[in-house]
Amino acid sequence: MVDNFGDIGVCWRLARQLAAEHAISVRLWVDDLRSAERLVPALDAGQASQRVDGVEIRRWEAPFLALEPGQVVVAAFACRLPEVFVEAMARRQPRPVWINLEYLSAEGWVADCHALPSPHPRLPLVEHFFFPGFDGRTGGVLREADYAVRRAAFSEEGFRASVGLPARTPGELCVSLFSYENAGLADLLDCWSRAEHPVTCLVPEGRVLASLGKAFGVGHLEAGGRLRRGALSVQVLPFVEQRRYDALLWACDLNFVRGEDSFVRAQWAERPFVWHIYPQDEDAHLVKLDAFLERFGAGLDAGSGSALADFWHAWNREQGVAEAWPAFEAALPALSEHAERWAAQLEAAGELASKLVQFCKLKIE
């Protein structure tokens, strides 16, 4: 796990789908059970082995246990498998299907590299790259089979009541903010406080609370905290477990998300969103940001497309946010319509868990 919640978020979602929807016996190795416990409240970080939602969860620690590998081995996000385990894979008959599950990217080369084999330099093993992506030539992205049913049953009024929010007021803009620390947040909050309509900002506990507290001049914020300034009302929510996060996205008109898992959920939510991509050295992350903007923005009118790109860049560069906000806000109705079309494109491209199962079955057979 590289960044607290993103990696385990994707791995846990995939593991749960494989068990629940494909009747596959799944063992998930995790090196940071404390972070995993936030997303999966039923998990006990003090136990080295346990079963949650039909998935066996094991603590990854050194020295690694000597055990029989499964029929399929998925190494997620460039994690290096212990050498003792790789050697056990080579001894197993038949040898496991070895999958290297990569990070999600919209870059053009992803489709060309998806499913390519990589022979081990020493052992009789072949690793296959599996790239999530946004078109049919990639591995797709995760979405549970019951997603549409849960969405149809969702009640915004019920959700707002569950977090202590009153009924929506006329003209209210409701925003969720799940982000890394961001120096541009103070200027954005100032814009919202001077709005001509009510703005409600829901902030799950996380790293952005440091920036939020600094902007309001308060030293410590925690779940239940409420802040007001002009037209803006801010409410700090308890850390949202994975199963409830979709409801937060559905309840809002605009969602700020970060990393990979929440980024994908925001796309399925069919709402305008802002992606805070994980920062990398030498601004390498901005290449990935632009690749997605180019793909996602196709079909938008020029004005909305420019407003989208300008605000996303301002948010990720943490400067110029206030200047970019008015045009972005004006584009929200167009972006809302576009979000529905985009979700339909994602669905047509295929779903990751199903594609992974199909790929592995072909290799096994």
In the residue annotation, 127 being an active-site residue is answered as no
DSSP string, 189-258: HHHHHT-SS-EEEEEESSTTHHHHHHHHT-S---TT-EEEETTEEEEEEPPPPHHHHHHHHHH-SEEEEE
Q: Could you say which of 127, 187, 205, 260 is catalytic? A: 260
CA nearest 17: which of 116, 119, 145?
145
Q: Which two tokens stand for residue 341?
A: 């079309």
Name beta bridge partners: 276. 258
Q: Which residue has the tokens 């079909």?
A: 299
CA nearest 166: which of 198, 189, 138?
198
Q: Which two tokens stand for residue 162?
A: 């569950």
Q: Which residues contact 6 (CB under 8 A, 6 or more apart)?
A: 258, 259, 260, 261, 262, 278
Q: Which two tokens stand for residue 61?
A: 């620690």
In the residue annotation, 7 being an active-site residue is answered as yes
Query: Which residues are annotated as catalytic?
Result: 7, 260
